[in-house]
Amino acid sequence: MKKINFSAGPAILPASVLKQASAAVENLDGSGLSILEISHRSDAFDAVLLEAEQLVRELLNVGDDYGVLFLSGGASSQFFMTAMNLLNPEETAGYLDTGSWSAKAIKEAKHFGKVNVIASSKESNYNHIPREYTIPEGLKYVHLTSNNTIFGTQFKEWPETDLPLVADMSSDILSRRIPLEKFGIIYAGAQKNLGPAGATLVIVRKDLLGKVQRNLPSMLDYRVHIDGGSTFNTPPVYPIYVMMLTLRWIKEQGGLEGMEKLNERKAKLLYDEIDRNPKFRGTVADEQSRSLMNVTFVCTDEADTDAFLAAAEAAGCDGITGHRSVGGFRASIYNSMPYEGVETLVRVMREFE
Ligand code: PMP
């Protein structure tokens, strides 16, 4: 039985993408070569990179003032690369602390400059997105985690500031429309909304670069990757190829407007059931902070937990166990999760009631 993959990441991919990706392992577009064995400097891969970049630009409305990069190292490498490329030792960046991933970004940024934690929801185990805070003068940028994969919270409104936002969008990239002009850097590990693990998408405003005094190792300098068109070194060829297929798929679904509508419908279906069904309770404190990507909930009676997990698994729902720091359940319903997948989970919840 094909399972319904609710895992937080690596995560579900569209069935049509998996089919094309597996065919390309044998023979890429009739070339007689596998995608796994072609050169990263071949015409075939040039075309893949170009199309992937163009699709990112088209879907998010990214102009030439930004570089679009496909790197390795995961979002975790961007925690330090962003600060390393933007922040001088005597300068301060503002950070919004909304979860474990934000905390990790803060830790890494401190290696390169000063960090001012403008707001934090840590005291309440990150169960909401702080909304009451002021952004002090004189910061270099403001960093945020747009969607908190572990705690099931998501920014719905962006900070009101003219400072460039630096955003970790690993778990909600391309799931909704965003005002791109507010962002100085957007980064995202591929393995939730974009493709398999191994590639990291980085969108960076070029005029922010070249302003730090430190010497940057080539591999950690965004400008080197912009100049090299993401092929300064051997990039993760196969993950980028699958990302390109997923980007095509997103475009076919009506682009970000289409994704946003579908994601809103799926999340509403599940949250409505959590709110209605006396057997369950959501873990996010205020409704406005609820993530449309990672839906976290618990059984009202903790003793029901194992039985509900067994019922969900028997219906083919895989990967709904919550992160150990929150407990309970987490249903990740990224772009590629079909509406019918969420319907199945909701049916199990009703039957369980
Ligand atoms: N940020 C967020 C919001 C994440 O969800 C994750 C991974 N779960 C990371 C960063 C870390 O990404 P990676 O494993 O690609 O370094």
Residue among 76, 22, 80, 318 nearest 197 (CA): 76
pLDDT in tens, 103-137: 999 999 999 999 999 999 999 999 999 999 999 99
User: 38 with 31: CB under 8 angstroms?
Assistant: yes
User: Is residue 101 among the annotated active site residues?
Assistant: yes
Which run of H or of E encompasses 297? strand 294-299
pLDDT in tens, 222-257: 999 999 999 999 999 999 999 999 999 999 999 999
Please report, rounded to a whole number, the percentage of residues in the chain having pLDDT higher than 90. Answer: 99
Query: d(Cα 287, Cα 278) in Å, to the nearest integer?
Result: 18
Q: What are phi and psi of 301, to 5 degrees?
A: -100, 110
Catalogue all structural domains in the chain, each as residue range(s) with its CATH number.
16-252 (3.40.640.10), 255-352 (3.90.1150.10)
Query: d(Cα 167, Cα 145) in Å, to the nearest integer?
Result: 6
User: Is residue 192 among the annotated active site residues?
Assistant: yes
Q: What's the whole-number mean pLDDT along residues 90-110? A: 98
199-to-101, 102, 247, 337 alpha-carbon distances in Å: 18, 20, 14, 21
Which of 80, 171, 172 for a ligand 1 pocket mutation test, highest count of atoms within 8 Å of Cβ? 171
**What is the structure's pLDDT at 259?**
98
Residue among 128, 126, 75, 63 nearest 104 (CA): 75
User: Is residue 168 among the annotated active site residues?
Assistant: yes
pLDDT in tens, 199-213: 999 999 999 999 999
pLDDT in tens, 316-328: 999 999 999 899 9
* Neighbouring C-beta atoms of residue 124, cutoff 10 Å: 11
User: 53 with 240: CB under 8 angstroms?
Assistant: no
Which run of H or of E encompasses 184? strand 183-189
Q: How far is the CA of 196 from the centre of ligand 1 (A)?
A: 13
Which run of H or of E encompasses 318? strand 317-318
Which residues are CB-contacts of 165 (< 8 A; sequence separation ≥ 6)? Answer: 141, 142, 143, 144, 158, 159, 182, 183, 184
- Going 156 to 343 to 127 to 113, the CA torsion angle's sign is negative
Residue nearest to atom 2 of ligand 1 (CA): 170
- Going 59 to 60 to 64 to 69, the CA torsion angle's sign is negative
What tokens were used for 116? 């001012």
CB of residue 168 inside a 6 A radius of ligand 1: yes
Which residue type is seen at 57? R
Q: Is the pLDDT of residue 266 over 90?
A: yes
Q: At what angle do helices 237-252 and 255-276 cross, to 10 degrees?
A: 80
Q: At 264, is the secondary structure helix, strand, or coil?
A: helix
pTM above 0.80, yes or no: yes
pLDDT in tens, 149-200: 999 999 999 999 999 999 999 999 999 999 999 999 999 999 999 999 999 9
User: 69 with 201: CB under 8 angstroms?
Assistant: yes
Q: State the DSSP code for 310.
A: H
**186: β partners:** 167, 203
What tokens were used for 311? 């019922």
Q: At what angle do helices 255-276 and 339-352 cross, to 10 degrees?
A: 0
Q: How far is the CA of 267 from the centre of ligand 1 (A)?
A: 21
1 confidence band (pLDDT: 50, 70, 90): confident
